[in-house]
Structure formats: structure tokens, C-alpha cells
Chains A and B, each alone.
Chain A
Amino acid sequence: SQTIHQWPATLVQPVGSPLSLECTVEGTSNPNLYWYRQAAGRGLQLLFYSVGIGQISSEVPQNLSASRPQDRQFILSSKKLLLSDSGFYLCAWSRPAAHEQYFGPGTRLTVT
């Protein structure tokens, strides 16, 4: 069976500090990978998606970047966090060309 992990589960960081959130998937190969942000009352916003190693598509201009150094590893980064980066960050995977997405447990980021 497939599992998806995210860490850390919670993070409190000061404004201007760097960020690295990690997501890994087990039990499947060549998944599509996604990063979403969920702010209170605003639903889920797609940030990045990837169809393969080193292939990243960005949906919105922002202070964040993503990388996929390995087939089942997806990293969300920032060089300098802003207050507006606070939120609940969710990683998801899907099989290639499939509609269903499966979400990780999320990371709660608070920028102070």
C-alpha cells in the first residue's frame, strides 16, 4: 500500500528565516506530486506540481520554491519567510494521468 509522509508536523519560524518542508511517498513509482497551502476560510490553493524528477510547475508567483531531487521526494523551500507564508501546507500524490489525489498529514507553519 502507498503512504505519504510530511515533516515537520508543526513549525514556528521568524520572519526572514529560511524554510524547508519535506514530503516523501512510499509504495509507488513515478507519482505526480503536489504542494498545496490551506489558509483559514480559503480552501486549498495549489502551489506547485511535479510530474518527474527535476520537473516543477508553479501555479502562483510567490516567495516559495519547490524541488524534486528524487522520484518520491518533494521539497518546499523559502529563502526568507514572510508573515503571509503562515498556513497549513499539504503534500499530495497521484498516479500519472489519474484524477484522484492522496494527501499527507500536513505541516502547520506559523511565521512570527
Chain B
Amino acid sequence: TQLLEQSPQFLSIQEGENLTVYCNSSSVFSSLQWYRQEPGEGPVLLVTVVTGGEVKKLKRLTFQFGDARKDSSLHITAAQPGDTGLYLCAGAGGGGADGLTFGKGTHLIIQP
């Protein structure tokens, strides 16, 4: 069974600070997705990383896939209250038909 461990589970910081959240596994994934979920809503896809060592930027968010494709990180620069939410990482194995393996998520609160 593939498992994804996310850390920290909870993070509360002030507006303007930087932060990094992590997604780790002992398994290799063919790709890894990051989602953001707000209370009572479905997760929204932020990014997909596929290649080991890949870095993608989405405005103030920087996503990195580990060289061995077992881990990933999400770095947010100058966090804003609108960044508040549950951040989920999800790994995909070989083949597109299977569902994703999700981590439990990082609950992020940005205080104004």
C-alpha cells in the first residue's frame, strides 16, 4: 500500500510570512498532484509534477518534486489570508485508471 505523509498537519502563521509544507513517501509515484480544499467544497487542483527534480511556480507558490519521485514540497512566499485552506498532496501510480493516493493534508491558516 502506498502511503503519503504530509507535514505539518496544522500550521498557523501571520500574513506576509513564508512557509513550506512537505509530502513524503517510501513509494515512487509516476506523478504527484497538489490540491487546495476549502471547508465544505471539493479539492481544487493546483499543479501536477511528473519529472524527478521538477520545479513549478504558480504565482507565490513553488512546487518541487523530489529527484527520486518519492516526495514533494510546497513553498508559499508572503502568505496571504486567501491562502488559507487544506493542502492535499496525491500520488498517482502507473496507469491512468487508478485513483490517487492522498495524504491527510496540511491545514493552513494565514492570520491577517
Q: Which residues of A contact B (CB under 8 A)?
A: 32, 34, 36, 41-46, 49, 51, 57, 59, 90, 92, 94-106, 108
Question: Nearest chain B CB to A85's CB is how many angstroms away?
Answer: 19
Q: Which residues of B contact A (CB under 8 A)?
A: 30-31, 33, 35, 40-45, 48, 50, 88, 90, 92, 95-105
Residues of B with C-beta under 8 A to A99: 30-31, 33, 48, 50, 92, 96, 100
With A43-B105, A44-B88 already in contact, the answer to whether A102 and B45 are too (CB < 8 A) is yes
Whether B95 pairs with A97 at a CB distance below 8 angstroms is: yes
Whether A43 pairs with B42 at a CB distance below 8 angstroms is: no
Question: Nearest chain A CB to B39's CB is how many angstroms away?
Answer: 10
Across the A-B interface, the 5 shortest Cβ-Cβ residue pairs: A103-B42, A46-B99, A97-B96, A43-B104, A44-B102
- Distance A45 CA – B4 CA, assembled complex (angstroms): 12
| Interface majority SS (helix, strand, loop, mixed), chain B | loop
Question: Nearest chain B CB to A89's CB is how many angstroms away?
Answer: 10
- Distance A102 CA – B31 CA, assembled complex (angstroms): 15
Whether B96 pairs with A106 at a CB distance below 8 angstroms is: no
Residues of B with C-beta under 8 A to A103: 35, 42-44
Chain A minimum-CB-distance residue to B92: A99
- Distance A92 CA – B97 CA, assembled complex (angstroms): 12
Question: Nearest chain A CB to B45's CB is how many angstroms away?
Answer: 6
- Distance A2 CA – B98 CA, assembled complex (angstroms): 21
Whether A59 pairs with B99 at a CB distance below 8 angstroms is: yes
Residues of B with C-beta under 8 A to A59: 99
Whether A108 pairs with B40 at a CB distance below 8 angstroms is: yes
